[in-house]
């Protein structure tokens, strides 16, 4: 099978003969079953969709490849985005891949070090602004209206189209839609995209039912839970530090049409979920991603999601991008003498 979202899901995407079939090998990420958490929660099954395995380490690549291909098709020479980090990393990589200029606007001091580095190494022009992600997005929207540059945030419809392919993959791999799909919500493009993907597959009889959509926000950045924008969003999960999501209506529709829910969890619950995923399941995701597990656990605990359900948790990005979020929780290396006996003593190993 040809690598890449454009080739594998061509007939489901708004692309044609004139659309260049670019790829960095995005998509086809694994859906890995949980070792212990399904049982702990009393679920019939729990799978983690490992979107951190995309080429730039997050789900953004699925939509970026479509947005950049369409920008090329339309003769654009430059792309721009606002970002909490992952979109900028992805935009920078795909722009480098095809020889477009990329400009990324990030909240000053507000994005994880690995994500910033990605945008820099791929040669994007990185600009930081005061005022957080919401201000940055307003800025690039105005910029793209007044200047010759293609906006590649998820307000660009091609981004959502590409991202819906993750829902297709879940159905293709598991054989049907899950009962519950848990997903972090920041700017709300991704929950909108998954819901569209499931509905399109249902309409084409690729799955027998639709999942209940469970959206996860951080308590300090939970506009969709509160029902109103948050002026100064705060959370350790910098990817979803967003107070006024662009796809607000898409998220509300996904929640209501699927009879799902959008709830929030504290930063402590997010970091605890991230820690347990790493230690108990062998999966290192970023804090925003772990919010999906934390909210799923909360919903199951509260009885809002039935025990016995088949659930999929979308882990949207790799933990390697954001070492600062976990560095306080991990032990430093232990200095030992370079002898087998010293190492054995430090590890507490019995003799053979």
Residues that bind ligand F0G (CB under 6 A): 58, 60, 83-87, 154, 184-190, 239-240, 286, 288-289, 316-317
Shortest distance in whole angstroms from residue 334 CB to ligand F0G = 32
Shortest distance in whole angstroms from residue 237 CB to ligand F0G = 8
Shortest distance in whole angstroms from residue 31 CB to ligand F0G = 17
**Closer residue to ligand F0G (CB): 19 or 244:** 244
Residue 96 burial (C-beta neighbours within 10 Å; 0-12, 13-18, 19+):
middle
- In the structure encoding, which two tokens stand for residue 280, read together? 């108990």
- Is residue 50 within 8 Å of 283, Cβ to Cβ? yes
**Closer residue to ligand F0G (CB): 10 or 278:** 278
- Is residue 182 within 8 Å of 314, Cβ to Cβ? yes
**Closer residue to ligand F0G (CB): 320 or 342:** 320
**Closer residue to ligand F0G (CB): 4 or 114:** 114
Strands annotated E in 8-77 = 31-33, 45-50
**Closer residue to ligand F0G (CB): 46 or 91:** 91
| 232 contacts: CB under 8 Å, gap ≥ 6 | 132, 243
Do the strands 101-107 and 78-82 form a parallel or antiparallel pair, or are they unpaired? parallel
Closest by CA position to 66, among listed 2, 140, 5, 141: 5
Shortest distance in whole angstroms from residue 304 CB to ligand F0G = 21
**Closer residue to ligand F0G (CB): 58 or 165:** 58
Secondary structure, 3-state, 94-112: HHHHHCCEEEEEEECCCCC
Shortest distance in whole angstroms from residue 115 CB to ligand F0G = 7
Residue 215 pairs in a beta bridge with 183, 262
Q: Please tell me the distance from the alpha carbon of residue 187 to that of residue 164, in angstroms, as a whole number.
A: 15
Shortest distance in whole angstroms from residue 92 CB to ligand F0G = 12
């Amino acid at each position: 099978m040809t690598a890449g979202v454009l080739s594998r899901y061509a007939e489901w995407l708004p692309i044609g003969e004139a659309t260049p079939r670019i790829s960095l090998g995005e998509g086809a990420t694994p859906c890995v079953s949980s070792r212990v958490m399904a049982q702990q929660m009393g679920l019939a099954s729990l799978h983690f969709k490992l979107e951190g395995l995309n080429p730039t380490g997050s789900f953004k690549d699925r939509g970026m490849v479509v947005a950049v291909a369409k920008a090329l098709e339309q003769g654009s020479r430059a792309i721009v985005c606002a970002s909490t980090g992952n979109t900028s990393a992805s935009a920078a990589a795909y722009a480098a891949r095809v020889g477009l200029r990329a400009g990324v606007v990030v909240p000053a001091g507000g994005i994880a070090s690995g994500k910033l580095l990605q945008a820099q190494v791929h040669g994007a022009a990185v600009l930081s602004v005061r005022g957080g992600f919401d201000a940055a997005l307003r800025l690039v929207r105005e910029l793209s209206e007044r200047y010759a540059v293609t906006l590649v945030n998820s307000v660009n419809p091609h981004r959502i189209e590409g991202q819906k392919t993750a829902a297709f993959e879940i159905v293709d791999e598991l054989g049907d839609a899950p009962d519950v799909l848990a997903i972090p919500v920041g700017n709300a493009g991704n929950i909108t995209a998954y819901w569209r993907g499931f509905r399109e597959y249902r309409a084409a009889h690729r799955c027998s039912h639709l999942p209940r959509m469970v959206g996860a926000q951080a308590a300090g950045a939970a506009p969709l839970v509160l029902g109103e924008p948050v002026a100064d969003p705060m959370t350790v999960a910098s990817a979803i530090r967003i107070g006024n999501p662009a796809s607000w209506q898409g998220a509300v529709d996904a929640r209501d049409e699927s009879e799902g829910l959008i709830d929030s969890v504290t930063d402590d619950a997010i970091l605890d979920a991230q820690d347990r995923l790493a230690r108990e399941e062998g999966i290192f995701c970023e804090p925003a991603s772990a919010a999906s597990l934390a909210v799923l656990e909360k919903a199951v605990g509260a009885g809002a999601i039935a025990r016995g359900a088949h659930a999929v948790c979308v882990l949207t990005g790799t933990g390697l991008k954001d070492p600062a979020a976990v560095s306080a929780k991990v032990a430093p290396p232990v200095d030992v003498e370079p002898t087998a006996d010293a190492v054995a003593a430090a590890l507490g190993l019995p003799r053979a």
